[in-house]
Amino acid sequence: MSKAITNSAAWRGRVASFSTHGSRSGVNLLGWDAFYKESLSVTQERECILKALKSEEAKRLQLAPDSTEYAKAGYRIASLTAELKALKEKIGIVKKYQDLGDFLVKMFKERVTKAEWDIIVAEAQRRHDSQECLREMSNLMETLDSNAEAA
């Protein structure tokens, strides 16, 4: 046999050190350069988007409001928020069945300005807190009445 045939990849078994080398003909028989698309789980993807969103918001706070970088950061924040919303819908975090109140709040929020919305939310929070205060006072009065009757 000639030296070329003896050394050719066709006659050499893929064992020992030869199993870790590529073939002489240039064909990859081991698959070491095969392309595998890595994919993140949904929770990992969500974490990555949240980290990017937080870093972009922190970067935007350091920029001057009238600069173009500030506007670009705003667009980036909006796109990351949209990605996060789409991801939430994908994994089913968004409520499938909303009641009438949810739709009313959503429609009302769309129709008023941000300043008006903030005023409305503050008033609702104040009313809710006063309601909680009244509930606590009535519970306190009931316990005082029951203690007075027991004595």
DSSP letter string, 50-100? HHHHHHHHHHHHTS-TTSHHHHHHHHHHHHHHHHHHHHHHHHT-S-SS--H
The pLDDT of residue 101: 80
pLDDT for residue 35 is more than 80: no
Q: In the chain, what percentage of residues exceed pLDDT 70?
A: 71
Tokens at 45, concatenated: 């993807």
Q: Is the pTM of this model over 0.75?
A: no
CA atoms within 13 A on the CB side of 128: 6
Domain extents in the chain: 97-151
Q: What is the mean pLDDT of the chain?
A: 78
Between helix 68-91 and helix 42-61 the angle, nearest 10°, is: 160
Residue 93 contacts residue 66 (beta carbons within 8 Å): no
For residue 134, what pLDDT is reported? 79
CA separation, residue 34 to residues 11, 14, 30 (Å) = 25, 19, 9
Measured CA to CA, the distance from residue 6 to residue 8 in angstroms comes to 6
The mean pLDDT of 115-142, rounded to a whole number, is 85
- Assess whether pLDDT exceeds 60 at residue 45: yes
In the structure encoding, which two tokens stand for residue 112, read together? 């008023």
Residue 49: burial class (beta carbons within 10 Å; 0-12, 13-18, 19+): middle
Query: Residue 78: its pLDDT value, please?
Result: 93
Q: What pLDDT, on a 0 to 100 scale, did the predictor assign at position 146?
A: 78
Q: Identify the pLDDT of residue 27.
A: 62
For 57-69, the pLDDT digits (tens) are 999 999 998 989 9
Q: Which residue has the higher pLDDT, 19 or 119?
A: 119
In the predicted model, is pLDDT for residue 12 greater than 90? no
pLDDT, position 142: 83
Mean pLDDT within 95-120: 82
